[in-house]
Structure 1
Amino acid sequence: MKKSLILLSSAFGALAVMPAWSADAVMAPEPEPVEYVRICDAYGAGFFYIPGTETCLQISGYVWYQMGAGSYEAGTGDTPSYHYGDTPQDGWRKNVRARVNFDARSETEWGTLRSFIRLESVWNGVGDGPAYVDQAYIQLGGLMMGYSESFWVDSKNGGASNWGSHSWSGMYYGYTQRALIGYRFDSNGFFGAISLEDDALAGEGYMPDVVAKIGYTGGWGTAWLKAAYDESAEFFAAGAGVQVNVPNMAGSSLRILGYYNEGDNAYGTGSPLGTDAELSILASYNHQFTATLGASVGFHYFNDLYAAGTNISTGLDAWAAELSVVWFPVSQFEVRTELGYAEVDGRDGSLSGFLRFTRYF
């Protein structure tokens, strides 16, 4: 027994001094640090830092379902529908739209660097809705370049100067999108913008369209002047407007806009006939009953409509009127309805409208 104990002790002692011929011990790697998404509050709600960068990203958009109807029937000689964008013709028209915006921003020594992409799809009842890039542009400080709304209707500064009436349709204010490069500035309430734009990227020579705007905005409201030159048509357009905010009634305001067109051009307001008028005036009032319920009325008069693509007078006048109601029953969910009437001299008028449900995110 004693011999056995001595042998075992010798064996363990030998193992203790043996070289480490066996495999090294397996060491578990240190876990990678987890980088959680950080909120970026430099540009407003909804922005977060892209992990590993100092770039802030916001993903936003909406989905809407709309039921529209109108009395206009194509080919009858009646006044075309006020809601021309959806062209409801003597019956119901359904519309579903999906929109997603990607807005990336970061700070540089030259100001905020921004890139914006808008993807959109519209379903009008026939097959699946096609997806397309509705806007894409870059901004660096006040410089902007890409494809977006013309500076005639939205220079991304100037508040009320970027719209027509208070409704979603806006009445006839010349909404258009262009490939452009432009610059805008803001200083102590004063704002201005200028852009070089083109509706055709080839075959139009080297002269671009030119759009400029200047104005002032304060607590009382906004006033502005703007002008545009359509190089293709070789006609000028000009506009002036003022919005007066109602004291002690947040969101309520009166807006009056006037337009002059040298001829039918890309930057004119359009009209119920589809062409520009030499002179037109638009008045709109929005009343905000509560933080979640508002309504607006608008009226637009057109004097001396042009023949399409010319400065030749048709001798016709026209007018249009609208009613819009917007209600947010809960946050980010909107119920909107619009009703519009349009009439051209010598033609029967047309009535149109829609009811829309929108979920924003």
Structure 2
Amino acid sequence: MSAYAADAVMAPEPEPIEYVRICDVYGAGFFYIPGTQTCLRISGYVRYQIGTSSDGETPNYNGFAVDAWDKTVRARLNFDARSETEWGTLRSYIRFQASWNGVNDGPVRADQAWLSLGGFRAGYSESAWADTVVGDVATTGSHSDNSMSYGDQQRAIMQYNFERNGFFGVLSLEDDALAGEGYMPDVVGVLGYAAGWGGVWGRVGYAESFDGSSYVLGGVPGTNSGGFAGSLGLQVNVPNMEGSSFRLIGYYADGDHTYGTLHGPAATAFETINGGNGNSEWSILASYGHQFTDTFGASVGYQHFSDFYIGGTDVKTGLDGHSAELSLVWVPVTDFEVRSEIQHDKIETLSGTVSGYLRFQRSF
């Protein structure tokens, strides 16, 4: 019997392994998605907050009107993907968020989602009236996380942003849910300058669907003449004290519409009592933040409201109001923040309200 050598067994070549590579083009935390030139950063936080208000008839920071402690938990997860093209940076951003308020588990939802290419940006995000992706100096109101009443809101947007040699600007078309003329969006424009000493900026907003007093008081459709608002701001950084600065912002609105000083605690209190968004004709906000050490900072702020409008109209009530706040922030270890904020709100003819919270937040 003839003997034959066994056939050789050929082991398959192992697939090449592509390890995750760090992407340092856009700052810390980015890595290349394997097999692509797209850089991705995953970030977010988990926070626990306990707060209360001195008046059960007036909502506190979270909008609750209770004579008790209210507890909230929030989880947030951000996905930021970027790559370079011949037209500039191509970017997409998604923010998922869920909250628990002691009563119900909040559903996970896409709190923000937008894309951008170069200066073009579209999606659902902060209104340019309250926030911008360029010119960070012009973002929000006071130094606190609450930021007082500065028109905070999120909307579907389509905008163009530019930033060059310290100058920055935004032209933003913002969804008004087919109100008014239907095809006509609301419009916000921002122009400013930022440098090492601080910055200056101005905003204008046009609420296309605002009917003024004729719709609400007369019971018939108005003329859709629209509503206007404007804001001017200044920030001065304290020399040789990194993280310390002074902010001064003025606001004007010709009615209780989308743009103005709505959506802060004082605005919420007025909305509860008067049925409106809380816009005042004029408002001025002053805030000072001081970074005492690398781990501890504090800020104080004051805002005056002159002549609130009847809800949904351009009819003035003659009532003024003010808010004052104190914010303390301690970061004992990297990415862990302990924050406490206290605010006093007062509207003429109403008793003042003190509200505040203690918050623990772990970011990543």
Find the counterpart in structure 2 of residue 174 from structure 1.
151
The answer to whether the 8 A contact 2:180-2:208 is kept is: no
How far apart are the structure 2 equivalents of 1:202 and 1:130? 28
Q: Does 1:236 align with 2:223?
A: no
Displacement of 1:265 in angstroms is: 1.0
Displacement of 1:72 in angstroms is: 2.2
Displacement of 1:89 in angstroms is: 2.3
How far apart are the structure 1 equivalents of 2:259 and 2:179? 19
Displacement of 1:88 in angstroms is: 4.8
Which residue of 238, 246, 252 corresponds with 1:260?
Answer: 252
Find the counterpart in structure 2 of residue 351 from structure 1.
354
The answer to whether the 8 A contact 1:211-1:227 is kept is: yes
How far apart are the structure 2 equivalents of 1:45 and 1:201? 41
Q: Does 1:189 align with 2:166?
A: yes
Q: Does 1:55 align with 2:38?
A: yes
How far apart are the structure 1 equivalents of 2:171 and 2:6? 73
Find the counterpart in structure 2 of residue 77 from structure 1.
none
Displacement of 1:120 in angstroms is: 0.3
Q: Does 1:277 align with 2:260?
A: no
Q: What SS does the aligned partner of 2:292 have?
A: strand
Q: Residues 40-62 of structure 1: CA distance to partner in whole angstroms, max 9, x if unpaired?
A: 00001100000011100000000
How far apart are the structure 2 equivalents of 1:30 and 1:153? 57
Based on CA coordinates, which of the two structures has the bigger radius of gyration? 1
Find the counterpart in structure 1 of residue 199 from structure 2.
222
Which residue of 335, 340, 359 corresponds with 2:338?
Answer: 335
Find the counterpart in structure 1 of residue 217 from structure 2.
none
How far apart are the structure 2 equivalents of 1:50 and 1:122? 30
The answer to whether the 8 A contact 2:229-2:253 is kept is: yes
Q: Does 1:73 align with 2:50?
A: no
Code of the aligned partner of 1:177: Q
How far apart are the structure 1 equivalents of 2:148 and 2:294? 24
Which residue of 113, 116, 139 corresponds with 2:90?
Answer: 113
Cα 1:277–1:159, aligned 2, differ >3 Å: closer, same or farther?
Answer: same
Displacement of 1:106 in angstroms is: 0.5
Q: Residues 240-280 of structure 1: CA distance to partner in whole angstroms, max 9, x if unpaired?
A: 00000011111110000000001111111123413111101
Q: What SS does the aligned partner of 2:249 have?
A: strand
The answer to whether the 8 A contact 1:176-1:267 is kept is: no
The answer to whether the 8 A contact 2:187-2:205 is kept is: yes
How far apart are the structure 1 equivalents of 2:59 and 2:55? 6
Q: What SS does the aligned partner of 2:270 have?
A: coil
In structure 1, runs of 5+ residues without a counterpart are 1-10, 75-79
In structure 2, runs of 5+ residues without a counterpart are 211-225, 272-277
Q: Does 1:145 align with 2:122?
A: yes
Code of the aligned partner of 1:132: R
The answer to whether the 8 A contact 2:189-2:203 is kept is: yes
Displacement of 1:23 in angstroms is: 6.7
What is the percentage of aligned positions where both structures have the same residue?
59
Cα 1:168–1:142, aligned 2, differ >3 Å: closer, same or farther?
Answer: same
How far apart are the structure 1 equivalents of 2:180 and 2:100? 33
How far apart are the structure 2 equivalents of 1:205 and 1:118? 29
Give me the TM-score of the superposition, normalised by structure 1.
Answer: 0.91
The answer to whether the 8 A contact 2:341-2:357 is kept is: yes
Moved over 3 A (4+): 201-204
Cα 1:315–1:203, aligned 2, differ >3 Å: closer, same or farther?
Answer: closer
How far apart are the structure 2 equivalents of 1:313 and 1:201? 27
Displacement of 1:130 in angstroms is: 1.2
Find the counterpart in structure 2 of residue 27 from structure 1.
10
Q: What SS does the aligned partner of 1:102 have?
A: strand
Code of the aligned partner of 1:245: N
* Alignment: residue pair count: 338
Query: Pairwise CA RMSD of aligned residues?
Result: 1.5
Cα 1:120–1:201, aligned 2, differ >3 Å: closer, same or farther?
Answer: farther
